[in-house]
Amino acid sequence: MSIEKFIYGKMNGKDVNAFVITNTAGTKTQIIEKGATLDKLFVADKNGEAIDVLVGHDTLDGHINRSDYQGVVVGQYANRIKGGVFTIDGTTYNVTKNEKGITCLHGGGEYSSAHWKGEEVSSSSVKFTYTSPDGKEGFPGNVELSVTYTLDDSNSLTIEYSAVSDKKTVINLTNHAYFNLNGCNSGDILNHTLQINADRFTAIDENSIPTGELPEVFGTPFDFTVAKAIGRDIEEAHPQIKNGMGYDHNFCIKDHDGSLKTIAVAQGDKSGIKMVVKSTEPGVQLYTGNFLDGSVIGKNELPITKRSAFCLETQVYPDSPNHPEWPSCVYDAGQEYKSVTVFTFSK
């Protein structure tokens, strides 16, 4: 195992470092301090060729000015909060409405645009830390955060999240990696196969806000209980497909108990690369790049096109601050938020 550190660029006059972790099998990942971003991930395909399975950007300028959250850590609350408002113990908090002027998306973009401090903590791990000030984007509490990436010799990339606030607050963190298991410039992901261990999903309205309903997946395009091609049902005449312009929905993990368990399995049809996702979280957002339109230039100076990537964002359900009946996202002052997600690759 080895870790290399180098200066990736400058942001606000300060160096932004990149850290490259390489295991004994030659699998390699690169993480940068801007947004604690998972920047590159090279995995061997069925022919033994190492390919980058992350769609994103090659430069810091791309990450700052052209990103659709590719590879970043998002928070203080990942996903959406309806109306940018929620209440804790009778106090109403109004947070940044950065989507259509009506929704708080990914905490207003604070964590994804922040300059995190990275440091090697072992020969296979890098830890990133950041302090979010009280009231930033409207969220209560000074929050001390850490995200640790570990790549082991079994080709498992583990992401461990920790956060502690000095005020009662809502916390929900995830990584917004855009995957294409055939390679970052290999076309669409519609023939990738995907299985998700979920029997329900959160229905959304035309603004992608949960309605409060948790329909069963069975007999709908949202049934991934048995592996199928991502594109098989993506154009079905279903009102939820219409609302998301494809898949942009949270799936409710079956038998969630807070332990680390397999929640999804994906495989590239051309590369043969298989990705098993484990998490402690109760939900996972499947997003299939529905809004990517080719106007943004990504890696290798090529456009990022519609459905050229998919995301599996492990999380608490969207808009949970306004749904106390769902898995809790509220943490007392001094109470630690902890979350673990593991991506394991094979062929």
Q: What is the side-by-side strand order in the sheet with 117-120? A: 117-120, 125-132, 143-151, 156-165, 336-346, 274-279, 261-267, 193-196, 228-229
- Residue 339 identity: S
User: Beta partners for 156?
Assistant: 344
Q: Which tokens in the block code for residue 344?
A: 């394991």
Structure tokens at 97: 């409405």
Around Cβ 85, how many Cβ atoms within 10 Å? 15
Residue 173: name the closest of 316, 64, 278, 342 by CA. 316
Q: How far apart are CA 185 and CA 310, in angstroms?
A: 13
| Bridge partner residues of 117 (DSSP) | 129
Nearest-angstrom CA–CA distance, 138 and 167: 13
Q: Of the residues 99, 110, 281, 313, which is catalytic?
A: 313
CB neighbour class for 219 (10 Å; exposed up to 12, middle 13-18, buried from 19): exposed
3-state secondary structure of 332: coil
Cβ proximity of 33 and 72 under 8 Å = no
In this structure, what DSSP letter does residue 335 have?
P
Tell me the torsion sign for CA atoms 68, 336, 341, 226.
Answer: negative
Active site residue 119: no
Residue with tokens 């590159």: 40
**Which residue type sits at 262?**
T
Please tell me which residue in 106, 115, 176, 192 is annotated as part of the active site: 176
**Rounded Cα–Cα distance for residues 75 and 313 (Å):** 12
Between CA 107 and CA 141 the distance in angstroms is 13
Whether 313 is catalytic is yes
Contact 43, 345 (CB under 8 A): yes
Active site residues: 176, 313
